[in-house]
Amino acid sequence: MLPDSTGRVPLRLLAAAELALLVLTLVTAASFRRLFVDWAFFPPIALAAILSHGVAAISRRRGWGLPRSGLLSLALAITSLLGFPTLETLARLSSDLQAAFARFSELKAPVEPLAGFVLTGAAAIWVTALLADWAAFRNWSPIEAVLVPSAVFMFGSIFGRGDFQVTAAALFMTGLLVFLLTHRVLRTASARWIESEAGRGSGALLRSGGFALVVAVGLGVVVGPLLPGADDPALVSLRELNKGPGSRVVVSPLVDIQPRLVEQEDAVAFTVESDAPAYWRLTALDDFNGNVWGSNEDFGDAAGRLPGTVPDDLDTDTVTQRIDIEGLGGIWLPAAFEARSISSDVPVSHSPESSTIVVSEDVADSSDVTYTVESVIPHLQAADLEAASPATDDVDPRYLELPENFSESAVSLARTVVDEAGASTPYAEAIALQNFFRNEFTYNLRVEPGHGVDEIDHFLEVREGYCEQFSGTYAAMARALGLPARVAVGFTYGEQDPENPGRYIVRGRHAHAWPEVLIGGFGWVAFEPTPGRGNPSAAPYTGVPAAQDERTGSEEGTDPPEEPGGVTATTLPPTSLPATSMPEDDTVDAAAEPAATEAARPETSRTPTTTTVMLAVILAAVAAYLALMPVLVAIRRHLRRPSGDGPMERLGAAWADTCYWLTVIGIVRLDTETTHEFAARVTTALDLPEMQRLGSVVTAATFSPWPPADATVAEAEDVARQVASAVEQAATRWQLIKRNYTVRSPAARREVSPLPRA
């Protein structure tokens, strides 16, 4: 509570200051909008702020300590957000937080408001409110009270998107200054001596402070963006610290692909006018860290003929595609593999390693982009691939890397599959692995999402999943066999326009992922382990005819009929396939496939390396705080303590030490108390009669024209030591620890002037 135990606390001003601090916390929470795709995150986080501040205010009025107040508000927050605390609640909380931590290494804002992210934000705001209230109304240090909200706001500014910069900054600065002003008015009104004069001082302070607030925020919002250099890039961009020149880090588009199947299955992603159908490829993911497949690529301007990996001596077809992006989102530009030239209405960039095309960094996303791309599609035959030599002699090691915790049972199973098939060449091993998945596994969309090490083990055990598990598991097991592999992500060929057979409408349900294996002399070769899918250009060597989800818009929201094995039988129009891909009127399997998601859209992101560095920095900062804060507190207390060898200086230091130790157990001199009154109150509280004598000596020395005698000063120093000893015996362990981290102490006021008397 405010340091006035006599009941003369101006409750209306106290409530106003508490409300101002609550508004500052809510503004800080609202700044998280830059981290999320919409406002769905805000209600639970705002609830955590309101509960934390409300419980803190009630606890102070009832005289409860900080630990009791914190535990109560934590219990209320958990109950409100997750339900009554049970083992099931804790398990759900743990699962949500683990999922959020895994996604944190992959995503860049804005992201979907996943449960783990929202809970993390609510926890951050809860702690922010708790610490800010403690600093503002228990320790009475407004500057320290705004440090935590400021740090949280800066976090959002560093990792959030560029939108709402001015608005967020203006709202935060307004909330911060309003709180500082109301807190100052509260302190001024609480320290009054004459009741009738209180309103005058507070009113004048409110008028002058309010005017200064309006001017400061107004100048910042209006003039700040107009200053020279306001729009220039940052001298040091914290968002780009892990990126080299020309690099662009992309998040795995497999993340959260499953939930969007039902929600966006009929949404048109893009349309393609093409000489022939193909898998429209977005990118290839070559980095498997045990949790997710991702990539870290170098991009250059896509000018002239694009470099690629398809050997020039292969027999290829050139396929021209005109693509109109409608609802794809993100930065990628799909094309048949392998793109060799592009003409676009916006600047684009290209990565030759994965044949990935993206809009340039000065373009927000690929929405409404129209472009023409030429691709070369090799004519690959099974006999030629069977005679190919291994590609592992000079292959980049990253295409063979597996995490240290990769499943030994998955490695053993991969070897068993190829041994039982009698496979002795890279192509034969790749086909054996493909056929194992297609023949022994069932397509099922209703499984838990994920493609990390744990999910691979589960997938191999239950033997059902969708393309996320099929492609990721295939690529990992291929690497275990020594086959360089990666995961390609994109779309199947889409619906043929009845009025224009060369036009394909690609919807969310056509999103897909498939593995690619590097085979010597042929480059990257696509395989298809997912039942119900078939690449038109790969049929001659995979033995899998073209297939995809063929439901029409009229069937949206319904499940297609299933054949035994969990996949759907559909008949593809013969005009939708090249003559070499499939016999006319063939019947093939197809099944629904996850749609591209907002959360999985291709944004730049932090790599796992950066996340590790961030965690290390945070842990180092915490360790530094725990180690250095007691030293800084001691230094500050020493600097504010009267110093010198004179009797007045020594008496002042003894009194300051006494007041400091008393604050450790919550005994604070009130602004309305005289030195003598304070000493009398302490004498009663601690049963320490010497304190009354010390108060009399300090009062006499303060108003006397002569300095105190040496014996009197020695007596005061002895009393200070007695008070320190009494406090150490009476204080709890928490109070003794807390004193080392309390920056501001009311005892720092110099109650005795160290200046010599005239």
Per-residue pLDDT of 35-74, as tens digits, reads 777 788 888 888 888 988 888 889 888 888 778 888 887 8
Specify the range with the lowest mean pLDDT, choosing from 163-167, 237-241, 574-578, 654-658: 574-578
Token digits of residue 613: 């560095």
Work out the pLDDT band at 228, boundaries 50, 70, 90: low
Of 456, 462, 459, 454, give the one whose Cα is nearest residue 476: 456
Rounded CA separation 654/656 (Å): 5
The per-residue pLDDT for 602 is 36
Rounded CA separation 452/651 (Å): 68
**Tens digit of pLDDT for each residue in 534-554?**
999 999 999 999 998 876 543
Token digits of residue 758: 């005239």
Of 246, 259, 457, give the one whose Cα is nearest residue 352: 246
Strand (E) or helix (H) holding 343? strand 339-344
Residue length of the chain? 758
Measured in degrees and rounded to the nearest 5, phi and psi for residue 569 equal: -90, 125
Query: HSE on the CB side for 36, CA within 13 Å?
Result: 20
The per-residue pLDDT for 582 is 33
Work out the pLDDT band at 566, boundaries 50, 70, 90: very low
Of 131, 155, 151, 150, give the one whose Cα is nearest residue 141: 131
The per-residue pLDDT for 77 is 76
In sequence order, what are the beta bridge partners of 294? 287
211: Cβ contacts below 8 Å, ≥ 6 apart: none
Of 622, 655, 682, give the one whose Cα is nearest residue 746: 655
Asked if residue 3 has pLDDT above 70, the reply is no
267-301: buried (b, 16+ CB within 10 Å) or exposed (e) per residue? bbbbbbebbbbbbbbbbbbbbbbbbbbbbbbebee
Asked if residue 430 has pLDDT above 90, the reply is yes
What is the SS3 assignment for 313? Answer: coil
**Tens digit of pLDDT for each residue in 570-624?**
333 333 333 333 333 333 333 333 333 333 333 333 334 444 555 565 666 667 6
Rounded CA separation 164/34 (Å): 7
Please state at what angle helix 408-420 crosses helix 426-440, rounded to 10 degrees.
100
Token digits of residue 378: 């090799």
- What is the DSSP code (8-state) at residue 680? H
Rounded CA separation 590/716 (Å): 91
Work out the pLDDT band at 223, boundaries 50, 70, 90: low
89 with 103: CB under 8 angstroms?
no
**What percent of the chain is modeled with pLDDT above 70?**
70
Query: HSE on the CB side for 126, CA within 13 Å?
Result: 24
pTM comes to 0.51
**Beta-carbon count within 10 A of 553 CB:** 11
Measured in degrees and rounded to the nearest 5, phi and psi for residue 46 equal: -65, -40
Asked if residue 722 has pLDDT above 50, the reply is yes
Asked if residue 203 has pLDDT above 80, the reply is no
274 with 502: CB under 8 angstroms?
yes
370 with 273: CB under 8 angstroms?
no
Work out the pLDDT band at 150, boundaries 50, 70, 90: confident
Rounded CA separation 434/128 (Å): 52
Asked if residue 220 has pLDDT above 70, the reply is no
Residue type, 586: D
Mean pLDDT for 523-529 is: 95
Q: Which of 11-25, 150-164, 541-555 has the highest mean pLDDT?
A: 11-25
For domain 248-590, the CATH architecture is Roll (3.10)
Rg of the chain over Cα atoms, rounded to whole angstroms, equals 35
Specify the range with the lowest mean pLDDT, choosing from 172-176, 312-316, 404-408, 629-633: 629-633
Work out the pLDDT band at 743, boundaries 50, 70, 90: low
The per-residue pLDDT for 380 is 93
46: Cβ contacts below 8 Å, ≥ 6 apart: 26, 29
Provide the sign of the torsion angle of the four alpha carbons 708, 713, 716, 720, taken in this order. Answer: positive
20-58: buried (b, 16+ CB within 10 Å) or exposed (e) per residue? bbbbbbbbbbbbbbbbbbeeebbebbbbbbbbbbbbbbe
Specify the range with the lowest mean pLDDT, choosing from 252-266, 425-439, 503-517, 585-599: 585-599
106 with 257: CB under 8 angstroms?
no
Asked if residue 646 has pLDDT above 50, the reply is yes
Rounded CA separation 467/681 (Å): 75
Asked if residue 260 has pLDDT above 70, the reply is no
The per-residue pLDDT for 191 is 52
CB-count exposure of residue 616 (10 Å: 0-12, 13-18, 19+): exposed
- Lookup result for tokens 């090799």: 378
Of 665, 530, 641, 644, give the one whose Cα is nearest residue 593: 530
Provide the sign of the torsion angle of the four alpha carbons 280, 525, 489, 567, taken in this order. Answer: positive
114 with 599: CB under 8 angstroms?
yes
The CB-based long-range contact list for 364-368 (8 Å cut-off, 24+ gap) reads 365/329, 365/330, 365/331, 365/601, 366/325, 366/328, 366/329, 366/330, 366/331, 366/332, 366/333, 367/325, 367/327, 367/328, 367/329, 368/325, 368/326
Rounded CA separation 390/477 (Å): 17
Cα torsion at 566, 569, 575, 576 (round to 10°)?
A: -10
481 with 418: CB under 8 angstroms?
yes
- What is the DSSP code (8-state) at residue 757? P
pLDDT averaged over every residue in the chain: 75
Of 490, 467, 501, 472, give the one whose Cα is nearest residue 337: 490
Domain ranges across the chain: 11-227, 248-590, 641-748
Query: HSE on the CB side for 55, CA within 13 Å?
Result: 23
- What is the DSSP code (8-state) at residue 557? T
**Tens digit of pLDDT for each residue in 268-289?**
889 999 989 999 999 999 988 8
Specify the range with the lowest mean pLDDT, choosing from 237-241, 358-362, 558-562: 558-562
Tell me how far CA of residue 244 lies from CA of 299, 383, 604, 730, in angstroms.
11, 42, 13, 58
Asked if residue 252 has pLDDT above 70, the reply is no
- Lookup result for tokens 């010198």: 644
Rounded CA separation 662/660 (Å): 5
The per-residue pLDDT for 707 is 80
The per-residue pLDDT for 108 is 56
The per-residue pLDDT for 232 is 54
Specify the range with the lowest mean pLDDT, choosing from 213-227, 638-652, 736-750: 736-750
Asked if residue 214 has pLDDT above 80, the reply is no
734 with 134: CB under 8 angstroms?
no
